[in-house]
């Protein structure tokens, strides 16, 4: 802890994709209230439509902020700092959420903090309510719909990206294969459910980059291999037993790749105190089991947030802000521009006057 004076609660907003979320955290990290509203309109369209998502965030935010304040028995005047995801993500949603939080901050005469979505996922396992006493440095496997990275977390704000995806992220591959199997969107949970009825050794699918040096990821070839398996069946629905076997074989292939990449990442960061998995795909039980085995083999703890904190949420945004405050950061992020891409290595807030497009 720094010498930063103790503050009253912090209100955080998350709108980087299709979940509208708000949370209020005490300065010590206790969660006072939280709420997530998942948009339903995208399912019939087969994926997130950015403009529809942004409009839905705009419609939902006033009510969800009011609801969270009511749950915490607080008013806006009780909030000392406002924070919001400012990148990476869908630019429309980022503009809506960060602008709303900035407006509240300006109206109440309070500071605003711009939070990196990836950093928030990475720091989530350090939340006090998880009682894991996670110490730096640790290794995070971030697996979500848009991101797949191995990150050595040296400290809050000090990250070494050991590897990442060179094409599709794991979550994208799950969604695309689920769509091929006629499971709709979002595909990850539906594919995992179907896979329980299948045999994971039914099809010999590729394990891209397995055994290669480093810990980069590639799932495009695996996705193509599944497409070729399905092609002979034509455009009609697959027999359920075949679809289940394909789902199970695909899920096993992804888990094998993740296990291999985790092994390599731990070799690259041997001082890691724990292996952490974060992001939406971290909810997959098969993936968790594989990574837990890797951690056990290396004699370190395996940590994963509870399912509600794996997917996008505002609690993680608030906690990332608190980690900065505990380091003595003095936020002044009103000029910070939302970014669809915001590398984790660029910890400092991105100012609107900066023209770097990365």
Q: Which residues of 62-79 are buried (b: 16+ CB within 10 A; e: fewer)?
A: eebbeebbeebebeeeeb
Check whether 87 has a pLDDT greater than 70. Answer: yes
Provide the pLDDT confidence category of residue 298 given band limits of 50, 70 and 90: very high
Dig out the tokens for 94 from the structure. 């980022």
**Residue 204: exposed, middle, or buried by beta-carbon count in 10 A (0-12, 13-18, 19+)?**
exposed
**Residue 51: exposed, middle, or buried by beta-carbon count in 10 A (0-12, 13-18, 19+)?**
exposed
Beta-strand relationship, 10-14 and 81-87? parallel
* Per-residue pLDDT, 353: 36
* Per-residue pLDDT, 236: 77
Dig out the tokens for 250 from the structure. 């695909």
User: Is residue 175 annotated as involved in ligand binding?
Assistant: yes
Q: Which fold has domain 10-123+310-326?
A: Nucleotidyltransferase; domain 5 (3.30.420)
* Per-residue pLDDT, 171: 87
Percent of the chain with pLDDT over 70: 93
Check whether 197 has a pLDDT greater than 70. Answer: yes
Check whether 83 has a pLDDT greater than 50. Answer: yes
Provide the pLDDT confidence category of residue 266 given band limits of 50, 70 and 90: very high
* Per-residue pLDDT, 42: 62
User: Is residue 119 annotated as involved in ligand binding?
Assistant: no
User: Is residue 222 annotated as involved in ligand binding?
Assistant: no
User: Is residue 312 annotated as involved in ligand binding?
Assistant: yes
- Structure confidence by residue, pLDDT tens digits, 229-248: 999 988 778 999 999 999 99
DSSP characters over 97-123: HHHHHHHHHHHHT--EEEEEHHHHHHH
Q: What is the pTM of this model?
A: 0.91
Give the closest residue to 122 by CA, choosing from 166, 88, 81, 79: 88
* Per-residue pLDDT, 104: 98
Which runs of consecutive H residues, i.e. helices, occur in 181-216?
187-195
- Classified as helix, coil or strand, 51 is helix
Dig out the tokens for 295 from the structure. 């951690």
Q: Do domains 10-123+310-326 and 136-304 have the same CATH topology?
A: yes
- Classified as helix, coil or strand, 91 is helix
User: Is residue 164 annotated as involved in ligand binding?
Assistant: no
User: Is residue 356 annotated as involved in ligand binding?
Assistant: no
123 phi-psi bin (left φ>0, alpha ψ -120 to 50, beta other): alpha
Dig out the tokens for 1 from the structure. 């802890």
CB 148 within 8 A of CB 140: no
Does 136-304 carry CATH code 3.30.420.40?
Answer: yes
Read off the pLDDT of each residue in 13-36 and give the average, rounded to a whole number.
96
Residue with tokens 């900065």: 324
Check whether 322 has a pLDDT greater than 90. Answer: yes
- Mean pLDDT taken over the chain: 90
- Structure confidence by residue, pLDDT tens digits, 138-189: 999 998 767 789 999 999 989 999 999 999 888 889 999 999 999 977 788 9
Provide the pLDDT confidence category of residue 267 given band limits of 50, 70 and 90: very high
User: Is residue 298 annotated as involved in ligand binding?
Assistant: no
Distance CA 111, CA 13 (A): 14
User: What ranges do the domains of the chain cover?
Assistant: 10-123+310-326, 136-304
Check whether 282 has a pLDDT greater than 90. Answer: no
Sequence-separated (6 or more) residues with CB below 8 Å from residue 155: 136, 137
User: Is residue 192 annotated as involved in ligand binding?
Assistant: yes
Distance CA 208, CA 342 (A): 26
Check whether 2 has a pLDDT greater than 80. Answer: no
Dig out the tokens for 237 from the structure. 């629905």
């Amino acid at each position: 802890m720094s010498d930063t004076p103790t503050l009253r609660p912090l209100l955080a907003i998350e709108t980087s994709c299709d979940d509208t979320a708000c949370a209020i955290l005490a300065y010590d990290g206790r969660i006072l209230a939280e709420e997530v509203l998942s948009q339903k309109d995208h399912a019939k369209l087969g994926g997130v439509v950015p403009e529809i998502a942004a409009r839905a965030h705009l419609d939902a935010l006033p009510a969800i902020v009011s609801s969270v304040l009511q749950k915490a028995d607080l008013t806006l005047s009780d909030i000392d700092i406002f924070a919001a995801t400012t990148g990476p993500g869908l630019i429309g949603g980022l503009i809506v959420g960060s602008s709303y939080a900035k407006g509240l901050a300006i109206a109440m005469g309070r500071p605003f903090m711009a939070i990196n979505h990836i950093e928030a996922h990475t720091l989530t396992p350090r939340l006090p309510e998880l009682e894991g006493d996670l110490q730096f440095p640790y290794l995070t496997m971030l697996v979500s719909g848009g991101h797949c990275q191995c990150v050595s977390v040296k400290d809050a704000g000090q990250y070494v990206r050991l590897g990442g995806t060179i094409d599709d992220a794991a979550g994208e591959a799950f969604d695309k294969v689920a769509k091929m199997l006629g499971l709709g969107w979002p595909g990850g949970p539906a594919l995992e459910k179907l896979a329980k009825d299948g045999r994971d050794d039914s099809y010999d699918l590729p394990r891209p980059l397995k055994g290669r040096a480093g810990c980069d990821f590639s799932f495009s070839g695996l996705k193509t291999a599944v497409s070729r398996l399905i092609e002979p069946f034509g455009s009609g629905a697959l027999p359920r037993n075949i679809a289940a076997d394909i789902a199970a074989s695909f899920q096993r292939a992804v888990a094998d790749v993740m296990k291999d990449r985790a092994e390599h990442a731990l070799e690259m960061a041997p001082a890691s105190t724990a292996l952490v998995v974060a992001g939406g795909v971290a909810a997959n039980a098969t993936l968790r089991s594989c990574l837990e085995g890797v951690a056990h083999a290396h004699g370190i703890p395996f940590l994963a947030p509870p399912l509600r904190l794996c997917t996008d949420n505002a609690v993680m945004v608030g906690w990332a802000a608190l980690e900065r405050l505990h380091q003595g950061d003095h936020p002044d992020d009103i000029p910070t521009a939302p970014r669809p891409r915001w590398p984790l290595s660029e910890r400092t807030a991105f100012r609107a006057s900066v023209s770097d497009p990365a």
